[in-house]
Structure 1
Amino acid sequence: MRLSEAVSAQTPLVQRLLDGVATIGADPPGITRDAFGRGENDAQSLIARAAAELGLTARLDEAANLSLRWPSGHDAPPVLIGSHLDSVVQGGNFDGAAGVIAGIGAIAALQAAGIAPKRDIEVLALRCEEAVWFGLGLIGSRALLARLPAGALELPHARSGLTLAQSIDACGGHSARLRENTPLRDPRSIGVYLEVHIEQAPQLIEANAPVAVCLANPGNVRHPFIRIRGEDAHTGLPHRFRRDAALAGADLSLALERLWLDEEKAGRPMAITIGRFHTPAARHSLTAVSGGFELSLDLRAYDAAHLAALEKRLGAIAAEVAARRKVEIVLGERSAAAPGPMDPALIEALSAAAARCGIAAPRLNSPGSHDANNFAASGVPTGMLLVRNQNGSHNPYEAMDTPDLMAAIGVLAEWLANG
């Protein structure tokens, strides 16, 4: 059977797995697969059963990441194909899960075509990529590569209240090993890391292409609980006496937007997102000036030096707003992820594989940070394929079409066979 025919023949398997993880995560109007909870665990089990039918060897590592290996009999560093199975609360079905399923589909296609692997191929279902569960994202790959920040194992789960260490242990991991702060796998022993992921902006809709080759993922700096402290007051208080935390929050947000627009105009891509933006719910009132305000901030860019410069500007902007509004701005807790530039040789090789499949795949930056960031930052040659998806991600309306995922699986299988 030709490889293209073998890929097409896996469509029922891929659709069955997509439907299966949707059923596991059903939470109308969207999908919720909670990390280190029933949603992620049941999705792991579904994927493991499909892998067993293909003869893959399953194991959990000390971080409770699931590894599914197709041994080659060759002594060469393996190819890892990874993504995640957790979701945000009431998100969509494809963010993460489509990438894990793509790895299974590609191996199934190679087997159907009678193509033996040149080196071990391993599908990874990495734990807890979404930051919503612990206020820290990319946890599975961070743990695998010893990139967890200090104190991460004590972070509480947003739903269960268990610490990250307790959550890992409850799912079959061994968190004590992670306290050694050494990689669970030496990055030098990994040949390649590949990830397939839905696109998180409609660039492929615009380009009328099913698949893109990723150039880079942004790194990020996150402050989940920025606190502004002013002074509660009567609504009639004249402006010159006010220490209005709400207006300071508005000023800070608009100043950051001006920074974003200036950077884009200068040709330096980045993004700023304010997810939470509110006065204290227990005390806000129509007839009071609020002395308290909270917001969250995600600041991202594609180059480490640029990201560091933007973080310095954030501090200066916060200080200027605080002085002008006579308030205190505390940026508070911070997490960060390194930018993820893709390996130039893999960009070329994946583009060539797409061309052999008859796909004119554009080369695009991804708007999102992914587990691929940690592999790239650890020195592992890293590549990504982005799949067309009309409505973004982290919402119930993700709109990836299965034929587009099959196109990405075709490119992946072609690279594995002939790359």
Structure 2
Amino acid sequence: MNEIPPDIALAERLFTELAAPYAQQVGITRDAYGPGEQAAHERFVDTAEALGLETHADAAGNHFAVCRGRDRSLPAWLIGSHLDSVPQGGNYDGAAGVVAGLTAIAGLLSAGITPRRDIIVAAFRAEESTWFPASYLGSRSALGQLRAEDLEVTRADTGRSLGDHMRDCGGDPEAVSAGHSWLGQRALHAMLELHIEQGPTLETEELALGIVTGIAGSFRYRQARCLGEWGHSGAVARAHRHDALMAFCELALALEREWAALETQGRSATVTVGQIATPPAQHAFSKIPGEVGFCLDVRSESPETLGHLERFLFATAERIADERGVRFDLGPRTASQPAPMSPALTERCRALASELGIAHRLLPSGAGHDAATFSNAGIPAQMLFVRNQHGSHNPDEAMRLADFAEGVRVIAALIQA
């Protein structure tokens, strides 16, 4: 193995340029299929072309940069992530994986090394489902997996369809729904994605790098409601109430207790309830809540655990509804499949990290990532996590460039094969 120093000066400049438009704002908002994400994609293309790489765009507006290998008949490495962010998020979630690919290739080129096979760096669209209520829109479209109905989902803030937003950004939604795919025409050796860790494990354990074993799948109910009966707070005795809020609270606590019970059995999951509200037009100080809205996000690496928790949800909601005289309407369901990482790539990354003297550990990903799309499509995939100091999906998201460099060192060593 030739150890190739990554071009960290390039990475630092790119991160600075990506953050610059938001200097006078709170956090980073690169809206999916909007001006923020579009500007980041343009920056990606300019940087790739300055490195002498081929650049391509597909019908969905994903962008790709190709470093030619010595044997172009071989399946290519794919390195990438997304460039959108959540509203008022951080600068590194997603973007670090795109910058990592360019940084690794720049290091190879500076050392005068032509890789054995092509290396493709991908900048995907719309990974953050905050904007559109669907998972992995960019990476799925890159593999020709979006359906016509997917293009009809609407963006949370504008109410306009994905197809309309895609067209605004130069895409061709009709070609996307027909399955046209630039990347799908390429044979892929494996997909690599570097990402900041979105929890505290690596920082707490003082480790620079995490090697991911798998990505959790999920089921989600974004527009759930509990429907009871409005009533006078002083005039209705407890036995006669149909309190939607208390019924909801009982359901939420039951899910929390079941999650804790699963943990004692060594079964990993997360259960998150949020966006809890009674209707402003009807609620009042002296009224028993007759309706409460909420959302539910359940994740696990195990399909069996996901199935267990969803069955528990249905059975518990039915029991509470009968006992309290309320009704639960969970609304539309969305879901994603768990995605195991390639055991061979996981072991290879462990060996390279050890050889390079990089402190690391194995860990799962509770959050979803574009690498899941490729794993579930049968393409070997591997993620690397870089520690970050302040969590994710917030303006304080952090990443030390020295830690980022350690992750890119592993990638640069890996892609020489």
After the TM superposition, which residues 188-227 of structure 1 pair with which residues of structure 2 at under 5 Å, given as runs?
189-227=187-225
After the TM superposition, which residues 137-176 of structure 1 pair with which residues of structure 2 at under 5 Å, given as runs?
137-148=135-146, 151-176=149-174
Paired residue for 2:374? 375
Q: Does 1:11 align with 2:2?
A: no
Paired residue for 2:249? 250
Deviation by residue 1:358-408 (Cα, 9 ceiling, x = unmatched):
113211111211111111111000001000012211111112111111111
**1:30 aligned counterpart, secondary structure:** coil
Return closer, same or farther for 1:213/1:180 CA change in 2, 3 Å cut-off: same
**Counterpart amino acid of residue 154 in structure 2:** P
1:338 to partner: Cα distance = 1.0
Q: Does 1:131 align with 2:134?
A: no
Deviation by residue 1:266-307 (Cα, 9 ceiling, x = unmatched):
100000112311111332211111111111111101022322
**Counterpart amino acid of residue 23 in structure 1:** A
Q: Are the aligned partners of 1:24 and 1:42 in contact in 2 as well (CA < 8 Å)?
A: no
Paired residue for 1:35? 32
**TM-score, length-normalised on structure 1?**
0.95
Paired residue for 1:231? 229
Partners of 2:303 and 2:24 in 1: CA distance: 37
Q: What is the alpha-carbon root mean square deviation over aligned residues?
A: 1.7
Return closer, same or farther for 1:300/1:407 CA change in 2, 3 Å cut-off: same
Q: Are the aligned partners of 2:216 and 2:368 in contact in 1 as well (CA < 8 Å)?
A: yes
**Counterpart amino acid of residue 61 in structure 1:** D
**1:193 aligned counterpart, secondary structure:** strand
Which residue of 56, 61, 65 corresponds with 1:64? 61
1:104 to partner: Cα distance = 0.7
Paired residue for 1:365? 364
Q: Does 1:179 align with 2:177?
A: yes
Partners of 1:53 and 1:142 in 2: CA distance: 28
Deviation by residue 1:133-170 (Cα, 9 ceiling, x = unmatched):
01223111122234446732111112333201111122
Paired residue for 2:239? 240
Q: Are the aligned partners of 1:3 and 1:109 in contact in 2 as well (CA < 8 Å)?
A: no
**Counterpart amino acid of residue 158 in structure 1:** A
Partners of 1:265 and 1:146 in 2: CA distance: 41
Partners of 1:258 and 1:25 in 2: CA distance: 41
Paired residue for 1:88? 86
Paired residue for 2:351? 352
Partners of 1:284 and 1:204 in 2: CA distance: 44
Partners of 1:363 and 1:187 in 2: CA distance: 33
After the TM superposition, which residues 407-418 of structure 1 pair with which residues of structure 2 at under 5 Å, given as runs?
407-417=406-416
Q: Which ranges in structure 2 are unaligned for 5 or more consecutive residues? A: none
Which residue of 111, 114, 118 corresponds with 1:113? 111
Q: Are the aligned partners of 2:81 and 2:97 in contact in 1 as well (CA < 8 Å)?
A: yes
Q: Are the aligned partners of 1:275 and 1:297 in contact in 2 as well (CA < 8 Å)?
A: yes
1:184 to partner: Cα distance = 5.7
Return closer, same or farther for 1:147/1:230 CA change in 2, 3 Å cut-off: farther
Deviation by residue 1:254-275 (Cα, 9 ceiling, x = unmatched):
1111111111111000001123
**Counterpart amino acid of residue 402 in structure 2:** P
**2:360 aligned counterpart, secondary structure:** coil
Partners of 2:273 and 2:162 in 1: CA distance: 25
Q: Are the aligned partners of 2:215 and 2:366 in contact in 1 as well (CA < 8 Å)?
A: yes
Partners of 1:281 and 1:147 in 2: CA distance: 40
**2:163 aligned counterpart, secondary structure:** helix
**1:42 aligned counterpart, secondary structure:** helix
1:356 to partner: Cα distance = 2.2
Q: Does 1:103 align with 2:101?
A: yes
Which residue of 36, 40, 45 corresponds with 2:42? 45
Which residue of 25, 31, 55 corresponds with 2:52? 55
Q: Are the aligned partners of 1:193 and 1:383 in contact in 2 as well (CA < 8 Å)?
A: yes
**Counterpart amino acid of residue 327 in structure 1:** V
Partners of 2:124 and 2:13 in 1: CA distance: 21
Partners of 1:186 and 1:304 in 2: CA distance: 27
After the TM superposition, which residues 270-285 of structure 1 pair with which residues of structure 2 at under 5 Å, given as runs?
270-285=269-284
Return closer, same or farther for 1:174/1:3 CA change in 2, 3 Å cut-off: same
Deviation by residue 1:29-80 (Cα, 9 ceiling, x = unmatched):
3111100001000011111111111111111111111111112252111111
